[in-house]
A and B are shown apart, each in its own frame.
Chain A
Amino acid sequence: MNKTTAILTGLGLLLSGTTAMAKDLHVLNWKGYGADEPFATKAFEEMTGDTVVNDFFNSEQEMLTKLRTNPGLYDVVMINAAFMQQALDEKLVQPIDTAKIANYGDLNEAQAQSKMLNVDGKTYGVPWTWGLTTVAINDKAFDTPPTSIKEMWKDDHKGRVTIRDDAVEAIQLGALATGQSINDVQDIEAVKQSLTELLPNIRTFWSSENDWNQMVASNQIDLGTYWSGSAGRAKTKFNLPVSLVVPEEGAVGWLDSFAIPQGSTNVEGAEKFINYMLSPEFYTEWDKSVGAPVSASQRAVAALPEDSFNRRVMGAPEVAERVQFQEPVTDAQREEYLKVWQGLKVGAN
């Protein structure tokens, strides 16, 4: 027993020793989400000499599990702001010295100060990208784009509306339509009533970007909830008649951030990496070659071509005014929402 422990400790020391010398930088993120682009890895390695080692997760739960089970392995992790609280509660991330990240000053002030990322005066997450879950329309169905979310409830669109079959999104849509905060639904009965009225208009539920685009291409829907990045891609990459609408009632926003896990062996490299991720050089290349969400760095967005979706549509002042950023949803709340949503769907037919 003791021998095994000794060997393992020795191996651990050896490994950490080599890591420190070679300056590996372990990054944990979604696959295909910017940080693992070959051009980015190459540019960063040339710039700093560190070797980037990418690791991926398929769900936020998996991300948290990987942090829990591999303490000290990761140097940078991408965390959705709504999950930061859980990571903090479990002491999985450490405070970040923002003075060491030169591009931190370019961030959108409100996002940088988000109380989801800053606790007790310490910064745990650096905003990276954001986007919206809002309404998109089929241009063929409208002469002038609607301004209210209530458009989805109108009889003119009977059987020509789509929303995602996701309980949290559905409840939040109901909350917006009834003038409530998406993060603090007080009157769930009003939400239920509102969704019951919406359901007869629904043609079907979409589950992937492809579903939505197909339905527009075959002119089966007039409008529906959609993700901002997907709506941008539908228009620019697939040439579909799709426009994003940010209704006056508001829109649901999500914010992705970078954090440094507790026990990271290469904090300096992590700061450099986060700094690079916020740089205009990285962001413009990412948006051009793959298509990116909106960067939290205002300087990076300003470096995009003037007519680009992320600058023209997402940069409009009313977007910033109307967005409500999604805060953590507890498991119990999620289960409760699912039950409400299933009940509504069953009651509707």
Chain B
Amino acid sequence: MATTGTRRQNGLAKALPLLTPAYAWLTLAIFLPLSAMVYFSLLTSMSPSEQSSSLTLANYAAFFSDPLYATLLWRSLQLGLLVTLICVVVGFPAAYVLAKIFKGRAREAIFLLVILPFWSNSLVRVFSWSMVLREGGILDTALNAVLPFEVTFDLMYSFPAVVIGLVHSYLPYMVLTCYLSLQAIDDALIEAARSLGASRFTTLRRVVAPLALPGVLAGSALIFIPVVGSFMEPRILGGRGGTLYGTVIEDQFTAVYNWPLGAALSFILLAVVLAILLVSAPVLRKAA
């Protein structure tokens, strides 16, 4: 017992130089601003002309007193679920093919295509969608050139446009995390299952899917959390339907300088997302 204890302490001492830069950075770049935001969220006012700014919980109460915010949060959560689900459906098969079927050069090339969107600025990606989706845009023109009958295809400034834009932005996360967990699965396991008489589908369901689940879950969390708070894509692609929880928070910061309310709304979002992750964790662990 005693020896393990010392060894552990030694280990910590040795690990310290390796850990310090990352944790110092996190403290500086995340913990401090976040603490400042907690403080702001409790203020009555940020206006420098009113010196009598005092502490209050009114900003948090505002969320509960007006059904507007709950409606918006619910809508944002639904959007997050939908986008995550589409990413799983689209991303998992792609990751499977990358990890288990393609080898060598082909894999590298396909991988590059998956990561490519990361190389461009996210704002540019969203704006390029506006050229594709609008009436008379690239998609509309292409469809009409191919199809024998006339269609007007105008998805721009609608809920589907927001979903398309967000899936495009976040799909690579799902492909990458699924790829990592799928690649770690020993091919021998799949061969064993097949040789013991399991069909392809049974192998996928009983062997591959459970082993790949951690990757899918990691990807889902990486996608769900930012999508719930997203504001840029809804604002640019969503048109008048693009009012979501994230855009309302943004308005508090940029349009009315009501930082306290904006900060309080952000922390409520954080709490709700954490609660969802906590509640779902045991269920998912059991499933895994």
Contacts and interface: CB of A to CB of B under 8 A. Distances in A.
- List the 5 closest A-B pairs by CB distance, nearest first: A204-B239, A345-B243, A204-B157, A349-B241, A202-B240
> Interface size bucket, B side?
20 to 34
A338 interface: yes
B99 interface: no
B108 interface: no
B199 interface: no
Q: Chain A contact residues (Cβ within 8 angstroms of B): what range?
A: 20 to 34
Interface in B135-150: 135-136
B102 interface: no
Interface of B: 45, 47-49, 66, 68, 71-72, 134-136, 156-157, 235, 239-243, 248, 251-252, 255-258, 261
Interface in A310-349: 331, 334-335, 338-339, 342-343, 345-346, 348-349
Contact of A346 (B48, B136, B243, B261): B243
Nearest to B75: A346
B48 A68 contact: yes
Contact of A342 (B157, B239, B251, B257): B251
Nearest to B136: A218
A205 B239 contact: yes
A299 interface: no
Nearest to B254: A59
A330 to B, nearest CB: 10
For chain A, what secondary structure do more than half of its interface residues adopt (helix, strand, loop), or is it mixed?
Answer: helix
14 contacts: A165-B235, A166-B255, A203-B239, A205-B239, A218-B134, A219-B136, A331-B45, A331-B258, A335-B258, A338-B251, A338-B252, A338-B255, A338-B258, A342-B68
B256 A331 contact: yes
A346 B72 CA distance: 8
A211 B36 CA distance: 35
Nearest to A68: B48
B45 to A, nearest CB: 8
Contacts of A348: 240-241
Given A205-B239, A342-B68, A348-B240, A331 B136 contact: no
Contact of A343 (B49, B68, B239, B251): B68
Contacts of B134: 218, 220
A236 interface: no
Nearest to B237: A204
Contact of B256 (A90, A207, A334, A346): A334
Contacts of B156: 204
Contact of A339 (B66, B71, B136, B242): B66
A183 interface: no
A202 B240 CA distance: 7
Contact of A202 (B136, B239, B257): B239
Nearest to A201: B240
A92 to B, nearest CB: 11
Nearest to B69: A342
Given A204-B242, A331-B258, 16 more contacts: A65-B48, A68-B48, A165-B235, A166-B255, A204-B240, A220-B134, A331-B256, A331-B257, A335-B256, A338-B252, A338-B258, A339-B68, A342-B248, A343-B68, A345-B243, A346-B243
A193 interface: no
A177 to B, nearest CB: 17
A235 B265 CA distance: 42
Interface string A48-72: 0000000000000100110010000
A218 B255 CA distance: 29
Query: Which of the listed residues A90, A167, A335, A342 has the most CB atoms from chain B within 10 Å of its own CB?
Result: A342
B81 to A, nearest CB: 19
Interface string A173-216: 00000000000000000000000000100111101000000000
Contacts of A345: 240, 243
A86 interface: yes
Contacts of A220: 134-135
A205 B156 CA distance: 12
Nearest to B68: A343
B49 A342 contact: no
B75 to A, nearest CB: 8
Contact of A338 (B66, B157, B235, B256): B256
Contacts of A61: 257
